[in-house]
A and B are shown apart, each in its own frame.
Chain A
Amino acid sequence: QSALTQPASVSGSPGQSITISCSGTSSDVGGYNHVSWYQHHPGEAPKLMIYEVTNRPSGVSGRFSGSKSGNTASLTISGLQAEDEADYYCGSYTTSDTWVFGGGTKLTVL
């Protein structure tokens, strides 16, 4: 199972919006709505930010939103804040009854 494709890095200024893409295939991202996004500050436990493409767990800021079109999912962060600087990973359930993650995107808040 190949990893999902994410940009290695994205950046934005405080207050701006950014979008991180996550490209897969019809066997994972395109085959189900079981796409999730995780925020990871190095040295800490990863944190679930979005599940089932668009759903936010309780406690996650409304500035985080998810979407999907075909085999590509996206995470959008609006009103960027300094504390949003982290690594972000997408994940998807697959037709092989396994899970696959993206390679990760490093978000820099300028």
Chain B
Amino acid sequence: QVQLVESGGGVVQPGRSLRLSCGASGFIFSAHAMYWVRQAPGKGLEWVARVSHDGLYENYADSVRGRFTISRDNSKNTLYLQMNSLRLEDTAVYYCARDLRGGWAFDYWGQGTLVSVSS
């Protein structure tokens, strides 16, 4: 069965960096684009970034462009999110999600990892 497991969250000070990982299993990882989506406390979902199946194309939400970098290692079945210059407003649960091929949707999600930016 498809499994996505995020890790790397924690408490970090403003301006510092953190790298999230998402381990994938149960499917051909290299065949799917992947996403990061976040949910701030008491707020709705916010799309963060997307990486193509081969890692050659990325795009970002305006709120994180220039600070966050999405990447993947298909040999390790792992998705990453490098988060630099963190701000208080980046505090959220971060989910990785799989692309529904041809369906323009997010068909499997992980349980999320909490990132708390606090001084």
Residues of A within 8 A of B (CB): 1, 3, 32, 34, 36, 38, 40, 44-48, 51-52, 55, 57, 89, 91, 93, 97-104
Q: Would you call A34 and B104 a contact (CB within 8 A)?
A: yes
Q: A1-B61, A45-B95 are in contact. Are A57 and B107 (CB under 8 A)?
A: yes
CB distance from A39 to the nearest CB of B (A): 11
Question: Which residues of B, 83-101, contact A by the 8 Å Cβ criterion?
Answer: 95, 97, 100
Q: A46-B97, A48-B100, A99-B47 are in contact. List 7 more A-B contacts (CB 8 A).
A: A38-B106, A45-B4, A45-B108, A45-B110, A45-B112, A89-B44, A101-B46
A51 and B103 alpha carbons, distance in the complex (Å): 6
A45 and B112 alpha carbons, distance in the complex (Å): 7
Count residues of chain B with CB under 8 A from any CB of chain A: 26
Q: Would you call A36 and B104 a contact (CB within 8 A)?
A: yes
Query: Chain A residues near B50 (CB, 8 Å)?
Result: 99
A-B interface contact total, Cβ < 8 Å: 70
Per-position contact with A for B65-82: 1 when CB-CB < 8 Å, else 0? 000000000000000000
Of chain B, the residue at the smallest CB distance from A97 is B59
Is there a chain A Cβ closer than 8 Å to B28's Cβ? no
A104 and B62 alpha carbons, distance in the complex (Å): 21
